[in-house]
Amino acid sequence: MSVRPVAGTVVLCLVVFSGTVCVGAFGPLLPEIGRAQGFADWQLGVLAGSFGFARMAADLPAGALATRRLGAALILAPVLLLAGMLVLASGGPFPVLVLGRLLTGLAHTLVMVSSLTAVLQDHDGPRPSMRLNLLEFAGMLGVLGGLALVGLLPERWGWSRTLLVASVPVVPSLVATLALRRLLSAQAASRGVAAAAVRVAGPRAARALPPIVRLMFALGVVMALAWSAVGQFIIPLRGTREFGLDRAGVSSLLSLAQLVDLIVLLPVGWVADRIGRPRVLATVATVMGIGLLAVGLGPLPILALGCALLGFGMAGWMLPLGVIREHTEVSRLGWRTGAYRVGVDGAIFLGPLVCGVLGEAHTPYFMVLVGVASFVIAGRIVRA
């Protein structure tokens, strides 16, 4: 089931935007949750990382569901997201809060894998890199909206009430998925997708990955490690403990990265469609590595610069999928997209968890390691 480049991508962007506002709202509230609940660093790491763990565990099932029932996967996502936010906002004990994060991670997996599968099936349409980055643009705009919302709402409301307000945009997302399902059904009927081709799109049909595809998998993992560790652990905790920033200050740092990402995202997609994705990916990976060193080691002004550089680097977040699509049959897109997301979401889970286990004093070494890995991959892409 595919979507026409214009109408389908617009609706998908609305769905992604509505479903990511609450994702952005969680990061700045993490220190407040820790103080209110009396959590240790390792508990905060588990709570933040459980979102990525759920995404990692659900990626392949979500890919299978997107291959067979794309509309159903998109409709299920906002329902699960609302359920997860309500569980989180209940303010229950540690296991209850982790359950809420797991549900939100599962929901986010469904919407992202399904949306990416729909857009990648239209890869032969105009400006494929631009359309992939439009999805990312919508997601980053939603995250930025969540960050801004947390910064604007009064702190006397507390983290639980703030999360409830941040979950409101999920409601129009459900309406949009209902409209999108009708569009998907009409497109599937018009193009006559062969059921036999779908049935072979399973793990047994997988072939050896070309070297460039393996390199894209590695780059996706490094990007995910960088973003999750910085956004869900290092900036919130280093900002509050080392630099004395309040909720609004932490939101401002995270918003800086999001704003830079939004500003350069569409130009990066435009350039990638003209000079090729590998050159652009090598550039953004190098910039991201520099940003990670600044975030992990620098004082507050350098840390802020690192946030901006990291935002620039994350503008290439969707481009590895475009390279993977060039080496993947349409009938296996759902499975390969799901497999790619396993690596990415596993890294999203591990990023804050590793930081929590290492403790604040040792996280700079982890950032240096991830930054060096980014430089190495950039060099490999140039030589590929």
Burial of 278 by CB count in 10 Å (0-12 exposed, 13-18 middle, 19+ buried)?
middle
CA-to-CA distance for 232 and 292, rounded, in angstroms? 14
pLDDT > 90? residue 158: no
Q: Is residue 1 part of a domain?
A: no
Q: What is the mean pLDDT of residues 188-196?
A: 46
Q: What is the pLDDT of residue 126?
A: 55
- Residue 365 is which amino acid? Y
Q: Is residue 17 part of a domain?
A: yes
For the record, the structure tokens of 371 come out as 């930054």
- DSSP letter string over 37-62? HT--HHHHHHHHHHHHHHHHHHHHHH
Tell me the three state secondary structure of residue 96: helix
Q: Is residue 75 part of a domain?
A: yes
H helices present in 202-246, as ranges: 211-229, 235-241
Q: What is the mean pLDDT of residues 3-32?
A: 78
pLDDT tier, 101 (very low <50, low <70, confident <90, very high otherwise)? very high
Structural domain total, the chain: 1
Instruction: List, in order, residues 6 or more apart from 94 with CB less than 8 Å away.
Output: 37, 39, 43, 47
Tell me the three state secondary structure of residue 328: coil
Radius of gyration of the chain (CA): 20
Q: Is residue 72 part of a domain?
A: yes
pLDDT tier, 2 (very low <50, low <70, confident <90, very high otherwise)? very low
For the record, the structure tokens of 350 come out as 């591990």
Residue 86: give the domain boundaries: 7-383
Q: Is residue 306 part of a domain?
A: yes
Instruction: List, in order, residues 6 or more apart from 182 with CB less than 8 Å away.
Output: none
**CATH number, domain containing residue 368:** 1.20.1250.20
pLDDT > 60? residue 201: no
The alpha carbon of 120 is separated from its chain's Cα centroid by a whole number of angstroms, namely 17
**pTM of this prediction?**
0.69
State the maximum Cα–Cα separation within the chain, in Å, rounded to a whole number: 59
Q: Is residue 2 part of a domain?
A: no
Q: Is residue 173 part of a domain?
A: yes
- DSSP letter string over 114-175? HHHHHHHHTTTSS-HHHHHHHHHHHHHHHHHHHHHHHHHS-GGGHHHHHHHHHTTTHHHHHH
Instruction: List, in order, residues 6 or more apart from 375 with CB less than 8 Å away.
Output: 285, 286, 289
Q: What is the mean pLDDT of residues 378-383?
A: 89
